[in-house]
Amino acid sequence: MSRLLYGAHVAANAVRLHYLRYGGQGHPLVLIPGITSPAITWGFVAEKLAQYFDVYVLDVRGRGLSSSGDHLQYDTETCVQDILDFVEQLGLQEYYLVGHSMGARFAIRCASKQAKGLKKIVLIDPPVSGPQHRAYPSQLPWYVDSIEQSIQGMDAEEMKKFCPTWTLEQRQLRAEWLHTCYLPAIVKAFNDFHEVDIHQYIPDIAVPTLLMVAGKGGVIQAEDIQEIQALNANISVSHVENAGHMIPWDDEQGFYQAFEDFLGRHIV
């Protein structure tokens, strides 16, 4: 039986933000997906987390059913303000923020702003690219080509070219929803991976933080962990050794185990 309660929209930061709510009981947890992941693609994770938390999965602007179009801004600061306003509109007094990839970078910035009510953050394999840092390992054409093809229409078999290790179900869902990722929003986010120095905000994180590292992702290396912990010694680290960057897609059980008891519950 699904733990999805409903999908809804709120007006926040002068845009419409869509979200999916799962569970409805426990400590509120806001999940921010990555660069080309509409909220629904994280549904299988939200179903599990909803056994323990009141889960809200956000469609970042320019993705899914949230506002999109060339009249909007898609920079990091704007998207971070979306999250802060979103939480305020929902009336969440205390919450955890869990971000994957791009969403993890947003979580870092939210925490550095001493966001009201934010109690803990989980950073799932955040890109550590930026000025004076090596490039993000994925290439922009991978995103552009797949999105352009999805706009024309594509099926799970065609998606295999872009996501060869994914299951049929995973590829079907991505093929169905990828067209909702507005290409200029994706390009801006990708460019921000390289132009925004996310490291400058790490020392200002005051809430407990867990950095979850994909063993096969190539995004975070040992030297990156050392740098991050040198900037903020209160950041703890867990590893999912057999997973690539899309950790729960590659090793779902390992992903849940990597939370350990950081959020006060063992996810099994």
Digits of tens for pLDDT over the chain (268 positions)?
A: 899 999 999 999 999 999 999 999 999 999 999 999 999 999 999 999 999 999 999 999 999 999 999 999 999 999 999 999 999 999 999 999 999 999 999 999 999 999 999 999 999 999 999 999 999 999 999 999 999 999 999 999 999 999 999 999 999 999 999 999 999 999 999 999 999 999 999 999 999 999 999 999 899 999 999 999 999 999 999 999 999 999 999 999 999 999 999 999 999 9
Exposed, middle or buried by CB within 10 Å (0-12, 13-18, 19+), for 161?
exposed
CA-to-CA dists, residue 138 to 73, 98, 219, angstroms? 23, 22, 9
What letter represents residue 51's amino acid? Q
CB 250 within 8 A of CB 242: yes
Q: Phi then psi for 181, rounded to 5 degrees?
A: -85, 110
- Note whether 66 and 59 are within 8 A (CB): yes
How high is the pLDDT of residue 223?
A: 96
List of residues 6+ apart from 221 with CB closer than 8 A: none
Across the beta sheet with 95-100, the strand order is: 4-12, 15-22, 53-58, 27-32, 95-100, 118-124, 209-214, 235-240
* Sign for the pseudo-dihedral over CA of 35, 83, 67, 194: negative
pTM of the model: 0.97
76-90 and 102-112 helices cross at what angle (nearest 10)? Answer: 70
pLDDT at 167: 94
Question: 15-22 and 53-58: which strand pairing?
Answer: antiparallel
Q: How many angstroms separate the CA atoms of 41 and 44, rounded? A: 7
The sign one gets for the Cα dihedral 252, 239, 54, 115 is negative
Strand partners, 247: none
First to last CA, the chain: 17
Angstrom distance (rounded) from CA 71 to CA 95 = 31
Give residue 217's pLDDT: 86
DSSP 62: T
Provide the residue ranges of all domains of the chain, joining segments of one domain with +. Answer: 4-135+195-257
Angle between helices 183-195 and 140-152 (to 10 degrees): 170
Structural domain 4-135+195-257, CATH architecture: 3-Layer(aba) Sandwich (3.40)
| Tokens coding 199 | 């490291």
One-letter amino acid at 227 equals E
Output the six-digit token pair for 85. Answer: 């306003």
